[in-house]
Chains A and B, each alone.
Chain A
């Protein structure tokens, strides 16, 4: 014990040091009062609420957060008279026994302690100096001597003022396990351990560090670190909590980390990847970061209410994950503690308030290969078309001209919608200023949409329904089905004079559309039962009087998401001098069996136009071609030109079959996967940002322009556009006082259990002071500008560099053995006189079991997998969980990163070990140690299967005896070899279990096998009884504290 403790009589001074970074109160007699350490926490906790920067709650016009105001005369003595405590109003008030005068007012929060009053008094006596809040001053590197690892320098320097001394290096096996869990989230294999133990080269450890950093599992382990902050989930949340495909974003994170994408780029691409030059699919996917929040599609919701709620959540996420500032409370009033006003909150929000809630297709490598082959074939056929018709250029030009003429021949006039409703208001269609109607919120699977329209046109011969795209719709719409399309079962038109209310049926003589599916049975996933014979197809179905048939403009892959139109020609023209009112009733009866919206076939955005021309009909060309025709030639994209060429070619006998075969290729287009991401609103959709009174979405107040808070660093140039890219660049500016500190701190927390700043989510004036302020700043600057050689080329903001710096310190490599006195003095190990030891994260607990048992399937990336869940769990779910396709094969043994996360029904295994729910950003998990967690690792299916598999793994070592197997098994779980008593304990259990099995008291098959395994899997030399006995032993091994902990 002497090694750790110099003398016990000095404990008091140690505590003072410890206390120095806790709430200020203790000082040795001769030490000067420090504003940051001693005074600001008191003022922040007790005074700023009423005497801080929020004018709405400020009392007596007094601010104690600004020295100039605090020392000024306000009705009598100034609150603070520097150098004279007696004359200071503040001291008089805090020491007053009169409840009417006393501050803080009795009953208001927590009273000041004697020690706190003493500190305030001394501070004023010493001159009442203020200092800027440390976290708002950019970090600078403090000097540290050459030849010493800076981390060790800072740690030892502080330890020198205490009774603690650093611990020796941990033994190699322990060290490799710690390193492996930290860098890749998995324990080392016995083979890796042996190799390391046998490696006598001086850089043996560094080689392990590099090997682990280069492993693809590094990205998986640290992706989870980021996913917590990003509130990642595989479902939407709220009542419906429908599944979403957000894993492409997760894959992006894994890849970015494995590629060591510098942290500034990592943040910039996630906030504004779509706005960086040459943005490709990956950069768009990256912006899924802010879209990880919840989406509410409960019946009758107003989309805007929950969009605003989502935006507030995005601000919260940015504040916790990147900025390290809690800005959420400024949504209603100026921040009471930190210098952020409500206006500034909304100015910051303005950067992220002009986006579509986009969902787009994503093509993985397999899809991309298919697309390449399609493209290649189409390119060849285009050339063939041009060869087959050498005059193609002239012919195409003529064709384009005639088509353009056709398109303008019929004059259409938008009718003005005055109402759009579905029965019972289960959703609330929104009337947009451009006369279109947008459906967000709940997605009905069977409903009737009634639209009232008005038109001034004197003579109306027909009506055009335009299906329109919109950035808030899945894949841009125009519909809301899986593929972003829709089907209308029936449409009925009624009309009357604008001054009447007596609608009369208007006879429709024909219905035509620019695009339609071939007549076919409804998609299998929408069928209500085996006999379901509902059809989709051409526009005729709109007016055939049958709900069983529907028009869908969906022309199949590659054409799901085009604008489209259907034209209803009236039997007789409608003429009303006062103008015409229409009531259009659209039936949507082609959804599936689902009350919650997944299987809908609803329209997303549409507009109605009218015309007075004779015999109106739908355009002869489809929406995509129409858009190309409407553009000036110079603006046409390659795709536009291709569409024009192919469409023309269909009309020329020489090229028709070639054009048809191009369409066949398009029909092969992969459906792809999808991701939620951000896309900037433009044109008429640009959205302004308003201060919401009391934070309520229903009370928008004055408009604000995008801008950054005054108390933080300025924009590097004020000529930047007010968009997300500007915000992202500002956040990752080297001048940012918090960004690098926050990242470094949270990484430190992952290694040591507690951050250098304990309040990982908050670096504001109420945050905990750093335990090692100079080290935090040194690391933050080192992160931005690497200087210490690690044997690798290190880019600025390299996360791998930061990891190398930390894990190569002696501080990290210390033994975690803790003497009782050391625990007494520093239970949380904030002084770092020993190595970290704590229970690992939920995901690692499951992954360790999978790794030790040999079950782990280590493929990287891809969709989430559905783990087995106990019976009855789904009954706690409001929405029927009909999508839970429990992984039956080895997919269920993928790493925990890939376990499907459902917000309303957290995975019970991971939740038992404190995995966050994804409801909000989480930058600091709590660590519980409950009996429920113990029951989970003892009895949950995944752990039972792991114990069984581990038993077989041990038995498969044919040359091993019992002792070898026990040692091997113990090593698989803890990386170290068991010693005497430990082997005995396990042997005893093994023998006792064997005896009971032999006596027939236990049933081997029940213990040793599960629904996926059977005795046939046994190694040839093993019996079911042996498998069972070893299963019991392995179950214990998987539950050892040493297995569950990083030590």
Chain B
């Protein structure tokens, strides 16, 4: 529905209004307000409307929300999701020369010896999909997953590759997938941010640009939910200011701002009055969000949390992701920067799977149980894969690998119990159904009801897209 009108800064709201009315493009007056508010980039929200008001998609969506479990540092596809029996046979031998033509690893010499899988795999579920024995919980929900073994990227260093996976290009300063989603769809959560970021383990290599708004209006950027102190930054009143004083203060502020509005007639003042009221509501909804006392013991246990004392970390973040989604938040992104196993691969993988396997699976199960999975997309994956070649002397490490790696998806609009794509016997190159990052983004936007070629924002004279000048739908993963 928004396709007839490009998101052009050249079209001022008024001209657009005129345009719509005079030219009979057929957009009702309700939608007009939304378009005007959204495109009014120079002034942000100047209307009565919520700054993240819900926007209609281009067409009927398959999913309404996203939970992206970003496994930063890049987990080894070869030891978790893409079993290569042949690789075990080749372990310790140099890879065939033709494999390495034009290849660039980050750290190692490309012709380093191959390293077999560190863990056994088994088949699970009705689909019989092979998964590493390190992932018993994920294995138990494998029939709900669409496992894509053929993702590829072009970056081989962490920061650029994370930025590429999140923004479509390794050049910093572009909007993230989450920001694009919010720009396109707004958020149903009226008193929480529309795009929430949670982090466990280390900070991410790509930093805040991973969830940045780039050239989009800043209100579309991700907002970190904190694991200690205020869940949202500056949510608490200053020391000594109790709820009653806060209410009295905001009432006074409102009285004064209404005076100013009457005097000046600037609609921005009304928007500010609204923002302070939203802030006040957020002061209630924020703590309520992170208060897990209403969660049953069995739920907490399912995520692997101690019911008496749920510790901050990945598992708690998974549960919070569900709570955020329940409250209408459009896009939740977890970062777990922990998978950069240049060395200590075997023990490292065990530890990281221990931290994440149960909760990731519990999240999918929990969403399904609550009827949320059918219109929520859950994404699991890192910024690239890891080499079948060994790194380091101890035969216990893998380097960065961009040509092939595995991600999985569950929920709204994606196939379940399905494997898409295939790599060669070394897990090195994709041999069938390669899914470059742009195709992934195009497909995910499609599932959210948006045409990646039409979700544009005019910046620097160009109608910028998440997918740049690329992006093809991947029908093979769509249910």
Residues of A within 8 A of B (CB): 15, 18-19, 22-23, 25-26, 41, 45, 109-111, 113-115, 237-239, 241, 294, 296, 298-301, 309, 312-313, 316, 319-320, 326, 328-329, 337-338, 423-426, 698, 753-754, 758-759, 761-762, 764-769, 816-820, 822-828, 830, 837-839, 870-872, 874-879, 903-906, 908, 911-912, 914, 917, 919-920, 924, 926-936, 938-940, 944, 947, 981-982, 985-986, 988-989, 992-993, 996, 1001-1008, 1028, 1032, 1035-1036, 1039-1042, 1044-1045, 1047
Pairwise interchain contact B15-A298, C-beta atoms closer than 8 A: no
Pairwise interchain contact A818-B266, C-beta atoms closer than 8 A: yes
A-B contact pairs, 17 of them (CB 8 A): A23-B10, A239-B158, A326-B462, A337-B461, A759-B9, A761-B459, A817-B263, A870-B233, A874-B203, A904-B209, A905-B208, A927-B42, A930-B219, A934-B279, A940-B234, A944-B238, A1004-B240
Pairwise interchain contact A818-B207, C-beta atoms closer than 8 A: no
Please name the 3 residue pairs, one residue from A and one from B, whose CB atoms are nearest each other, closest first. Answer: A904-B207, A1006-B240, A920-B173
Of B218, B239, B257, B266, which one neighbours A816 at CB under 8 angstroms?
Answer: B266
Pairwise interchain contact A22-B10, C-beta atoms closer than 8 A: yes
The B contact surface, by secondary structure, is loop
Q: How far is the CA of A849 from the CA of B347 in the complex (A)?
A: 52
A6 to chain B, nearest CB (A): 18
- For residues 231 through 281 of chain B, which have their beta carbon under 8 Å from a beta carbon of chain A? 232-242, 244-245, 248-249, 252-253, 255-257, 259-261, 263-269, 271-273, 275-276, 278-279, 281
Pairwise interchain contact A1032-B4, C-beta atoms closer than 8 A: no
Pairwise interchain contact A326-B460, C-beta atoms closer than 8 A: yes
Q: How far is the CA of A996 from the CA of B205 in the complex (A)?
A: 49
* Known contacts A326-B460, A337-B462, A1040-B256, then 13 further A-B pairs from the complex at CB < 8 Å, ordered by chain A residue: A238-B172, A818-B264, A828-B12, A878-B203, A920-B171, A931-B278, A931-B281, A936-B233, A939-B238, A989-B248, A1001-B244, A1041-B260, A1044-B272
Residues on the A chain within 8 Å of B106, using CB: 299-301, 425
Residues on the B chain within 8 Å of A993, using CB: 245, 248
Pairwise interchain contact B255-A985, C-beta atoms closer than 8 A: yes
Residues on the A chain within 8 Å of B4, using CB: 110-111, 113
B226 interface contact, C-beta 8 A: yes
B1 interface contact, C-beta 8 A: no
Pairwise interchain contact B173-A1036, C-beta atoms closer than 8 A: no
Residues on the B chain within 8 Å of A111, using CB: 4
Pairwise interchain contact A935-B233, C-beta atoms closer than 8 A: yes
Pairwise interchain contact B15-A19, C-beta atoms closer than 8 A: yes
Residues on the A chain within 8 Å of B217, using CB: 926, 928
Of A767, A822, A823, A877, which one neighbours B461 at CB under 8 angstroms?
Answer: A767
Of B158, B209, B268, B453, which one neighbours A109 at CB under 8 angstroms?
Answer: B453
Pairwise interchain contact B249-A875, C-beta atoms closer than 8 A: no
Pairwise interchain contact A25-B14, C-beta atoms closer than 8 A: no
Residues on the A chain within 8 Å of B14, using CB: 15, 18, 824-827
Residues on the A chain within 8 Å of B293, using CB: none
Residues on the A chain within 8 Å of B214, using CB: 919
Q: How far is the CA of A759 from the CA of B457 in the complex (A)?
A: 12
Q: How far is the CA of A996 from the CA of B218 in the complex (A)?
A: 39
Q: How far is the CA of A930 from the CA of B44 in the complex (A)?
A: 9
Residues on the B chain within 8 Å of A19, using CB: 15, 18-19
Q: Given A109-B453, A919-B173, A920-B173, A759–B461 Cβ distance below 8 Å?
A: yes
A1034 to chain B, nearest CB (A): 10
Residues on the B chain within 8 Å of A839, using CB: 268, 272
Q: How far is the CA of A823 from the CA of B399 in the complex (A)?
A: 59
B53 to chain A, nearest CB (A): 12
Q: Given A928-B45, A939-B236, A993-B248, A878–B267 Cβ distance below 8 Å?
A: no
Residues on the B chain within 8 Å of A26, using CB: 15, 18-19, 22
B51 interface contact, C-beta 8 A: yes
Of B23, B170, B245, B460, which one neighbours A25 at CB under 8 angstroms?
Answer: B23
B122 interface contact, C-beta 8 A: no
Pairwise interchain contact A764-B12, C-beta atoms closer than 8 A: no
- Which of A326, A905, A934 has the most CB atoms of chain B within a 10 A radius of its CB? A934
Residues of B within 8 A of A (CB): 3-6, 8-15, 18-19, 22-23, 25, 40-46, 51, 104-109, 156-160, 170-173, 191, 193, 199, 202-209, 212, 214, 216-219, 223-224, 226-230, 232-242, 244-245, 248-249, 252-253, 255-257, 259-261, 263-269, 271-273, 275-276, 278-279, 281-283, 337, 342-343, 391-392, 399-400, 453-454, 458-463
Q: How far is the CA of A873 from the CA of B420 in the complex (A)?
A: 39
Chain B residue nearest in CB terms to A421: B109
Q: How far is the CA of A878 from the CA of B338 in the complex (A)?
A: 11
Residues on the A chain within 8 Å of B3, using CB: 110
Pairwise interchain contact A920-B172, C-beta atoms closer than 8 A: yes
Of A18, A759, A1001, A1041, which one neighbours B15 at CB under 8 angstroms?
Answer: A18
Of B173, B212, B252, B265, which one neighbours A820 at CB under 8 angstroms?
Answer: B265
Chain A residue nearest in CB terms to B400: A300
B295 to chain A, nearest CB (A): 23
Pairwise interchain contact A238-B160, C-beta atoms closer than 8 A: yes
Q: Given A876-B207, A934-B279, A768–B10 Cβ distance below 8 Å?
A: yes
Q: How far is the CA of A938 from the CA of B230 in the complex (A)?
A: 14
Q: Given A828-B43, A928-B45, A1040-B253, A294–B264 Cβ distance below 8 Å?
A: no
B133 to chain A, nearest CB (A): 28
Residues on the B chain within 8 Å of A911, using CB: 218
Residues on the B chain within 8 Å of A753, using CB: 42-43
Q: Given A872-B229, A930-B51, A938-B279, A23–B11 Cβ distance below 8 Å?
A: yes
Q: How far is the CA of A761 from the CA of B460 in the complex (A)?
A: 6
Pairwise interchain contact A928-B252, C-beta atoms closer than 8 A: no
Chain A residue nearest in CB terms to B451: A107
Pairwise interchain contact B276-A827, C-beta atoms closer than 8 A: no
Pairwise interchain contact A329-B23, C-beta atoms closer than 8 A: no
Pairwise interchain contact A828-B252, C-beta atoms closer than 8 A: no
Q: Given A819-B265, A944-B238, A933–B275 Cβ distance below 8 Å?
A: yes
Pairwise interchain contact B460-A928, C-beta atoms closer than 8 A: no
Chain A residue nearest in CB terms to B24: A114
Pairwise interchain contact A424-B205, C-beta atoms closer than 8 A: no
Pairwise interchain contact A817-B265, C-beta atoms closer than 8 A: yes
Of A294, A328, A928, which one neighbours B219 at CB under 8 angstroms?
Answer: A928
Q: How far is the CA of A762 from the CA of B215 in the complex (A)?
A: 14
Residues on the B chain within 8 Å of A870, using CB: 226, 229-230, 233-234
Pairwise interchain contact B160-A312, C-beta atoms closer than 8 A: no
A393 to chain B, nearest CB (A): 59
Pairwise interchain contact B252-A986, C-beta atoms closer than 8 A: yes
Pairwise interchain contact B244-A239, C-beta atoms closer than 8 A: no
Chain A residue nearest in CB terms to B392: A424
Pairwise interchain contact B460-A762, C-beta atoms closer than 8 A: yes
Q: How far is the CA of A1005 from the CA of B392 in the complex (A)?
A: 59
Pairwise interchain contact A1006-B239, C-beta atoms closer than 8 A: yes
Pairwise interchain contact B204-A878, C-beta atoms closer than 8 A: yes
Residues on the B chain within 8 Å of A313, using CB: 171
A334 to chain B, nearest CB (A): 13
Pairwise interchain contact A22-B15, C-beta atoms closer than 8 A: yes
Q: How far is the CA of A905 from the CA of B257 in the complex (A)?
A: 33
Pairwise interchain contact A996-B244, C-beta atoms closer than 8 A: yes
Of A319, A871, A1047, which one neighbours B264 at CB under 8 angstroms?
Answer: A1047
Chain B residue nearest in CB terms to A904: B207
Q: Given A26-B18, A758-B10, A1036-B249, A878–B265 Cβ distance below 8 Å?
A: no
Pairwise interchain contact B461-A934, C-beta atoms closer than 8 A: no
Pairwise interchain contact A15-B172, C-beta atoms closer than 8 A: no
- Which of A26, A239, A313, A876 has the most CB atoms of chain B within a 10 A radius of its CB? A876
Pairwise interchain contact B159-A929, C-beta atoms closer than 8 A: no
A38 to chain B, nearest CB (A): 13
